[in-house]
Structure 1
C-alpha cells in the first residue's frame, strides 16, 4: 500500500506496522469475492481485546474497495457506545450505507470517507454507473419516507432498511458485504423512545448498562441469512459477541473465525517496526526481539506497550532489561491500566462472591492454565472446596472475557501478561497460597530450537504464486512458490512404522502436491542423515494416506539448514527436481521478502534445531 494513495478508510497504524495477518486477510478477501456467487455465509470474527480486529477490518475494506471485478461493495459500519434514539441511528446507518455503496460503484474514495455528507447532498451527485444510479433512487425513497415519519414508526422503517443491501443486490449486479465492528454494542446503545425522553432518563441514570435499549442486533435475523449481502461482524467483548450471534434470533446463522495473537517471528517484526516510530532512536537485536515477542505471546498491543513504555532507563540491551520493561508495564504501565480498567468494568463478575477470598484464590489458581483447558477439579482439590463453587466462578470469568469456551470446556486465553497481571494483583493479598511460576524461560528455549520451523511456516503462509530467485532454493532458475491451503507441523505414522514428525508440511491449494520441510538450525552443515530422515517420513506419509484410502499427492521436499549442506547432499539436490535446499542466506532472503525487517539470528552452537 502507498502512503500517497487516498484510501477509503484512514488506518490507525503506519502502513508497515500492519504485520502478519496475511493468511486471515486473504481468507476474508476470498469471503468477500465469493459473495458475488452467493458462496459466503455470515461470519463472526472473534478475538480478545486489543488483538488488532479493527486494524484488520480497516485493511480488508481498503483492499476489496479497489477490486471492482468482485462487484461487492464493502459497507463498513463502526458501532459506537453513544446513546441514540432509533430514529437518529436510522438516519446515520442509512446515510453510511448509501454513501459507501455509491462510492464503491463510482470508485470514489473521497466520497467513501466523507462522513459529513448528508443524504440530500448524496442525491445531488451524478452517478455514472447503473448500480450507483439505482442506489440514489433507493436513497431518495428512504429519505422521503424518513422525513414523513416519526419516532412512532422508526422500528418499521428500520426493519425495511436492514433489507436494503439485499434489495440493491437484487436490482443491480453489485452485491454488499455488511461489515459491522463492535456488533455487540448494538444491543445496548439504541433506544426506541423520543429524544427528549432519552435525555431525561439518561440524566437520571436510568439507562445504565443498556437498560431499556432495543436489542438491535437481534433484528438482523433475516439479514444474517442473506447470501447477496451477508454479514461480517466483530467485537472486543468475546463472550458477548459469541452470545449475540449464537443465541436468540441469530442462533445458527453465523460461522466463526477466531483471531489469534501473532506468531513469535511476526511479533518480533512488529517490535522492530514500533521501535522505529515510537522508540526515540532505540533499537533491538533480532534475538532480543524474539525474546520479547515470546514473553508477551506475540500480542500486538503488548509489543506496542513495550515500544512506548515510560519505564525509567528503558533499554532493549539484554533479557533482563526487557523483563524489567515488561514487569513495569504489567505492574504500573499501560498493560496494568488496560487490565485494571477491564477488571473494574467487570467487577460484578470478577470480585463479587459470597466468599471474596475464595473467589480471589480461584482466579489466582486459574493462572496455571495459560492457553490450556481449565481443570476445575484440580483447583477444587487444591483449595479444598466443592467443584461446583469453582465451576460457578469460572462461568463468571467466562462472562467477563477472561476465559473462553469451546467443545464444552473452558480455556484461558493465550495471554501470559494477563496471567502475570492476575498474579500481581491477587498474590500479595492471599496468604497460604502456593507460588505459581509464570516464567517463560522454558518457552524461549523451545522457541530457539523451533524458530527456523516458525520462519518457514510464517513465510509459506504468505506465498501466493510469486516468482523468487532460484538461488534461494538451490536452483539456477526462478522458482514459483504456490498458494498453500494450509501449513503446519504434522506427525505421520503408518500401521507398521515408527512415527515421524515433519517440521513443516504445506498442502498446495488447487493442486495435488504437498511440501515437506526438514529444518536444521545449527551452524553445522546438514548431512545425508537428515535428508534421508525426511525421505523416510515421506514414505510413511504416503503409506498412511493409502491405509486411510486417501489420494497420495506429489511431494516437494524442502531442506532448510542455517549451517548449509555437505558436498554430498548438494550433489544429490542438484540431481533432483523434487528437492529444494535453502541455506542461511536463502531462507533469510525468503523471510525478508515476505515482510521481515530483521535477519534470522544464529543462536549458540549448541542450540539444536
Structure 2
C-alpha cells in the first residue's frame, strides 16, 4: 500500500474489527513494517470531550509505545498504560536513540506551546519512519475535525497535521470512520484532498452471511434452521452487527432455540422495539448523537419515513418536499442534515436514495408510527409482523438459493485437497483433487445455444477443469426425471478444448435408486448431506445442519 487510504464503513459492518485484525497481523507476522493503531472511538460520546491536550498525549504516547513494543516484540505493551518516563527508559536501555529527541521535545513543549507540540507529534511519525517503514492506522478520523482547544476556547480541525505523513510512501496512512459523510468531508475536502484513495466496505455478501450465521450459531450453541439462516440475511442485509444482536439476544436465553422464522420474529420484535433491545439502542444512540441536526419536527420524521418506504429508489428533493408538505428550501436543509448524520445517501446535490438499510428502515417506521401517527405499541407490533412476512416472500425460493450458497461456500474452500471419490462423490475414481477455482464460481450461469439459455445452478472454472453443478435441497430424495434434465443440459455444453468437464449433482436427501443408476451410467459425481459434510471437514467449511 503506497498511497494513503480512506476506508469508509456503514455503522455496524465491522470496520474497527478489520483494522484491529490488520494491526495484529502486521505486529505478529512480519518484521519489516511498524504498525500503529489509534482509535478516537470513545469521543463519539458527546459527554467525552476530545481536547488538544488529550489528543497530544494520546497520539505521542501511543505511537512511541507501539514503536517500542514492535521493536522489542512485546505485544502485551500495546494494551498497557505506560508512563512516559518508563517508555523513555525502555527506549534508551534498548538502543533506540532515535527516540531521544522526541521525548525531550515532548517534555519541553507539553506544558508550553500546545500548537508546537501538536505539530511535533504529527512530524514525529514522518521522521521516525525514515528509520523503518510503517503503517499509521487511525479509526474514527472524523472526530479530529472538532478538537477543543482550551487556549483559544474553541474547537479546531487537527486533521491538517497529517499532511506530511499522508504523503510519506514509507509510512502511508489508513484512516476510517463510521460517520461516513463527515469522514469523507474531513479527508476529501480538506488539505488532505487528493492524498487519499477511497475504499468503501459493504455489508456481507450472501455466502459470507450464511457462513457467519452458521459459525456464530455454533459458538452460541443455538438450534438454527436453514429457513432462519436465509431469513436473517433478508432481515439484516448482511450487516454483521445486526446479525450478532439477533444471535446474542436475551430472548434466546430460555432454550437457545431459533429453529423457525416465527421464533426469529419474536427475537426481532424485541430487539427493534423494546427499550432493552440492542437494535433499538444502537439507533437510539445514533439519533441522540445527532440531536442538534435531527430535531423533533414532524417534517423530519415524515422525510425519513418517506425515504424508508422507497428503498433504493432515486428520489428528487421536489418529490420529497411534496410528500412531506414542506417547501423546497427547508426540505433541502432537512435532507442535508440527514445526509450529515449518515441516515441517507445522496446521488447528487438535489437527489437522494431511499433508505436501503432494512433495520434502520424498521426503526424509522416504528418512530413514525408511534410518535407521528400515534399508534399504540400493539398496533405497531401488528404492523411489524405484516412487514416481516412480506419481506420474506417465497420460502421455497429462498431455501433453494441458500442451498446454492452452501455449495459455493464449499467450493470456494477448494485448494487442491484430495478426497476419496467413492465416499464423497459416489464414484470409483480413487482419490480425486478438489481444484482451486480462484474465485471463478458463478451462480445461475450458463450459455446461450440456438437462442435458448442453458442454465446451471453453479459453474466453477479451474485451470484444468470446469465444474457444472446441480443443486437440490429437497426434503425427499431426487428421482430419475431431475437427473435426466441435468444430463440433457450437459450434452449441450460447448467446452473449451483444453478443459475437462466435471459434473456434480448435490441432493440434500440423496437419490432414488433409478436416479443413482443413471448418475453412475452418466459418469456424474453425486453427493448427499453426508458427502457434503465430509468434504467440509477436509476443506474447513461450515457443515450442513
State the TM-score, normalized to the length of structure 2. Answer: 0.78
**CA RMSD in angstroms, aligned pairs only:** 4.0
Distance 2:452 2:223 in 1: 46
Distance 1:45 1:387 in 2: 33
CA 490–193 in structure 1, closer or farther in 2 if over 3 Å, else same: farther
Q: How does 1:41-440 map to 2 (within 5 A)?
A: 41-68=3-30, 71-79=32-40, 80-81=42-43, 82-118=48-84, 120-124=86-90, 133=95, 136-150=96-110, 153-172=113-132, 175-188=133-146, 190-194=147-151, 212-252=154-194, 253-261=196-204, 263=206, 264-273=209-218, 275-276=220-221, 283-311=223-251, 316-332=258-274, 333-351=277-295, 356-371=297-312, 373=314, 392-405=333-346, 410-412=352-354, 414-430=356-372, 437=387, 439-440=390-391
Q: Is the 8 A contact 1:364 1:426 kept in 2?
A: yes
Distance 2:318 2:418 in 1: 54
Aligned pair partner of 1:533 in 465, 473, 489: 489
Per-residue Cα deviation, 1:152-210 (whole angstroms, up to 9, x for no partner): 544444434434444344334xx21211111112222x34445xx8xxx6xxxxxxxxx
Aligned pair partner of 1:477 in 418, 431, 442: 431
Distance 1:593 1:394 in 2: 52
Distance 1:110 1:313 in 2: 35
Deviation of 1:256 after TM superposition, in Å, equals 0.7
CA 257–138 in structure 1, closer or farther in 2 if over 3 Å, else same: farther
Aligned pair partner of 1:449 in 393, 400, 408: 400
Per-residue Cα deviation, 1:30-57 (whole angstroms, up to 9, x for no partner): xxxxx4xxxx422233222222222222
Deviation of 1:323 after TM superposition, in Å, equals 0.6
Q: SS at 1:482's partner residue?
A: coil
Q: Is the 8 A contact 1:402 1:412 kept in 2?
A: no
Aligned pair partner of 1:585 in 512, 520, 530: 530
Deviation of 1:75 after TM superposition, in Å, equals 1.0
Q: Is the 8 A contact 1:239 1:404 kept in 2?
A: no
Per-residue Cα deviation, 1:441-467 (whole angstroms, up to 9, x for no partner): 216544212012222333445x37362
Per-residue Cα deviation, 1:286-334 (whole angstroms, up to 9, x for no partner): 5434434543333333333334434499653532222122111111022
User: How many pairs are equivalent?
Assistant: 509
Which position in structure 1 is the counterpart of 2:379? none
CA 119–414 in structure 1, closer or farther in 2 if over 3 Å, else same: farther
Q: SS at 1:347's partner residue?
A: coil
Q: Is the 8 A contact 2:469 2:504 kept in 1?
A: yes
Deviation of 1:375 after TM superposition, in Å, equals 6.6
Q: Is the 8 A contact 2:7 2:176 kept in 1?
A: yes
Q: Is the 8 A contact 2:126 2:164 kept in 1?
A: no
Q: Is the 8 A contact 2:293 2:338 kept in 1?
A: yes
Q: Is the 8 A contact 1:77 1:179 kept in 2?
A: yes
Q: Is the 8 A contact 2:27 2:35 kept in 1?
A: yes
Aligned pair partner of 1:521 in 470, 473, 484: 473
> Which ranges of structure 2 fall in alignment gaps of 5 or more residues?
376-382
Q: SS at 1:397's partner residue?
A: helix
Per-residue Cα deviation, 1:520-552 (whole angstroms, up to 9, x for no partner): 43341552533553675766xx7xxxxxxxxx9
Q: Is the 8 A contact 1:74 1:179 kept in 2?
A: yes
Q: Is the 8 A contact 2:529 2:544 kept in 1?
A: no
Q: Is the 8 A contact 1:501 1:537 kept in 2?
A: no
Q: Is the 8 A contact 1:44 1:234 kept in 2?
A: yes
Deviation of 1:357 after TM superposition, in Å, equals 3.2
Deviation of 1:74 after TM superposition, in Å, equals 1.8
Q: SS at 1:248's partner residue?
A: coil
Distance 1:270 1:411 in 2: 33
Distance 1:492 1:104 in 2: 51
Q: Is the 8 A contact 1:186 1:216 kept in 2?
A: yes
Distance 1:568 1:312 in 2: 46
Q: SS at 2:237's partner residue?
A: coil
Q: Is the 8 A contact 1:275 1:283 kept in 2?
A: no
Distance 2:262 2:483 in 1: 37
Q: SS at 2:191's partner residue?
A: helix
